[in-house]
Structure formats: structure tokens, C-alpha cells
Structure 1
Amino acid sequence: MIFRLDERLLFPDPTLAEDDGLLAVGGDLSTGRLLLAYQNGIFPWYSEDEPILWYSPHQRFVLYPGELRVSKSMGKVLRSGMFAITTNTSFNDVVEACSAIKREGQDGTWITNDMKAAYAELHRQGHANSVEVWHDDQLVGGLYGVNAGNVFCGESMFSLVSNASKAALIWLINTQRYQLIDCQVYTEHLESMGARMIPREDYMAMLRNSVG
């Protein structure tokens, strides 16, 4: 059963999600609703021509900082100093760059104009962060996501040159601010760096401890 949301700030029990993780439809992208969603292991994922769809996958793709794998070649890249890395200096530019990346199997982007505005407001209020990777003063990679206590809920990342997005993720983990990076959706790229699937129950337990 897929639940239809109204103006009330509430979500159904995430364990009631469909097999594909779809939990609810409708509602809005207000700051209050988005924060409630992330605190309960739920995130929006939809296309421009769809209503807002809310997901809570049965298996969560995550990266524990202690399990991060950095290849020898990547370590060499990091030591070379070819990248300069900043945080929260160009949040909107990172989101825009992520939305421009063509993903395999997707006709368009899931980062709609409404999503951009909603996450810009989350950032303005201190709930969303970005990491920017620069080369020769050009923005060549980065990532952005939402803070849920000690869990960083990664939304998207991009790379215009080899290893730029990896550099952003490694930098984020090395800040030692987060106990878990929620990668949401499986990719070989992140699996190669140590990300793995865990049951939603384990993810929710970590989230409850994180947000208190």
C-alpha cells in the first residue's frame, strides 16, 4: 500500500514501504518535511513530470568511515596536491552540476527545480552541506547531502575529471564528523570504496542513535 500525504507533517512507518522502497506520494518539499523524512530514513526521489515520491529502501547502501578503501593510485592523486577542496563555498553550483550529469538509464534528472530550491533552503538553514573539488580554479567535482546528526545522507555527486568525486568523499570522511555515510542507491563506484548494503533495521538503529 502506497500512502498519500497531505498537509500534515507526518510519514507512515518506513517498514510499510513497497518492495522497491516506495513508501508514500505527495506532500511537499518544505524544510520541516524534508528533515522529518531524513530523520526517519526516508528520502524523495522523483522526476519532473511525477508527483513527489518518498522512498525507504529495505536495504540501505552505506559506507562506514572505518571501512573506506583508498587505492594506491588514489592515494597518489591526493598527495599530489592537484585538487583544492572546500566545503559550503558553492553549494548551489554543486547541485546544478549534479543535475547536469546524465545518468545511465535515465532520460532526465531527478534533481528538479523544486528540489534545487528546497535543498538550497536546507543549506541556508545549516542542514545541508556541500564539498567542492577545484583544479586550476575550476569546479571539477563535488557532492552534497543532508545532515541527520552523525549520519550524512548523500544526495548526489559529480566529477568532470577523473577522481574528483572520490576526492570529495574521502575529504568528507576524513573530517571525522560522521559515523556513517548514507549512499542511498548502489553504485559500483562507491562499492569499490567500501560501501555495502545493510538491512534497513540496522540503518534505522544507527539513525536513531545519531539524531537522538
Structure 2
Amino acid sequence: MKVTAVICAFNEEKTISGVIIAALKSKLINEVVVINDGSTDNTGREILQYKYELRLKFVDLPRNMGKGFAMATGVENATGEVIVFLDADITGLNSRHISNMTLPVLRGKADMVLGQPSETYVHNSINPFKVFTGERVLLKSDLKPILDEIRYSRFGVETYINLFYGVHGKGIKYIKLKNLFHPLKIQKVKFFKA
């Protein structure tokens, strides 16, 4: 099966390149689709550094439409049967992380894999947000029937996908991603905006 990495970015100029490079280095990734979700910083410029990469497809949304819209756009532009969603604000991502998340789906051992960053400020054993991770791998065929719901869920997209998989009894596997760091929202924006 062909594998497409989908990276959705909004104002992630400091981290987007590292995520793109890791996806391009992965031997399992056949295609990388990057969605610039109306960024107002230099995210678009960072992405354009990779415009000559044959495996990279770039979609530039004129204004911020929300994560759900960006993810649905990425799926629509993907040619792979397996979708690897990667947040654009993570650091420490490598090809081993991508393989560890992708292989269970490719081998039919899970319908969806959720990658859990090991480096957070809240320990995973008590972290109520670990199921909302943006690092996830699933089949495109599972997403197609719910693309409109994903598109308009804005920032509740992870919850919606998790509920859909749970209601339909699909197998979900959790993988710890050692040395992967995902910042808390409060670290990225001013306190009163979080």
C-alpha cells in the first residue's frame, strides 16, 4: 500500500522544516502533502524550500480554516491508501517514529495508531489529552465517509476521529514516541488566548 504523510501547519515557521525532513527521510512514505493553513508568519516560505522534492505536494490555503479543514484537504490531495498525520509543531521526529506508527496499520495489526510523544510536561499515565495527539496513522478508506465532518470540526477533529473509530469497533493502538516533543498550546500562545 502507498503511504502519504499529511502535515498541516498554521504559523509553525520554527518547526515545519524538521517535520518535512523526517517525513521525506522515511522509506515508508511515498508522498508528503503539506497544507499551509493560512499562516501569517514565514511557514509558507519554509515549506517552499522543498518545492523541488518530487514526493512533496504543497497546498496553500489563503486564510486559516482550522485544523479539520486542513486535514480533510490533505486527505483529498493524498494518493496513498494509508495516511500518516503529523503535527507541524513537533520536534525530534525521526523515521523510526514514522515506521513504528505506520507498520501496525500496513500489517493489519491496527486500524488506527496514535503516536504519543514521550516528552511533554504532563506524564502520559495521567495525561487526559494523550488521545488527542496529532500523530496518527489510519486508512484513507476509513476517513473518506467522514471527510465533511472532519472538515467542519475545526479543532475537535481528533475527538471526532477517535469517537468514530470507537463507535465502529475499530482497533486502536498506542505507540510511545521516544524523544519526540510536543509543546502545550499554552507554550505557543499568550496565556489568555489559550
Higher Rg of the two aligned structures: 1
TM-score (norm 2): 0.26
